[in-house]
Amino acid sequence: MKIESLKIKNFKAFKNAEMRNIPRFCVIVGSNGSGKTTLFNVFGFLKDALSTDVNTAFNKRGGFKEVISRGCTGNIEFEIKFRAKDTYKNNPIITYSLS
Round to whole Å and give the CA distance between 6 and 2: 11
pTM: 0.85
Residue pair 38/17 in contact by the 8 Å Cβ criterion: no
State the Cα–Cα distance between residues 2 and 5, nearest whole angstrom: 9
Give the separation between CA 70 and CA 10, rounded to whole angstroms: 8
**Which CATH number does 2-98 carry?**
3.40.50.300
Q: Give the pLDDT mean for 11-22.
A: 94
* Residue 22 CB burial class (10 angstroms; 0-12, 13-18, ≥19): middle
- pLDDT, tens digit, 9 for 90 and up, residues 54-99: 999 999 999 999 999 999 888 999 999 998 876 667 788 889 898 8
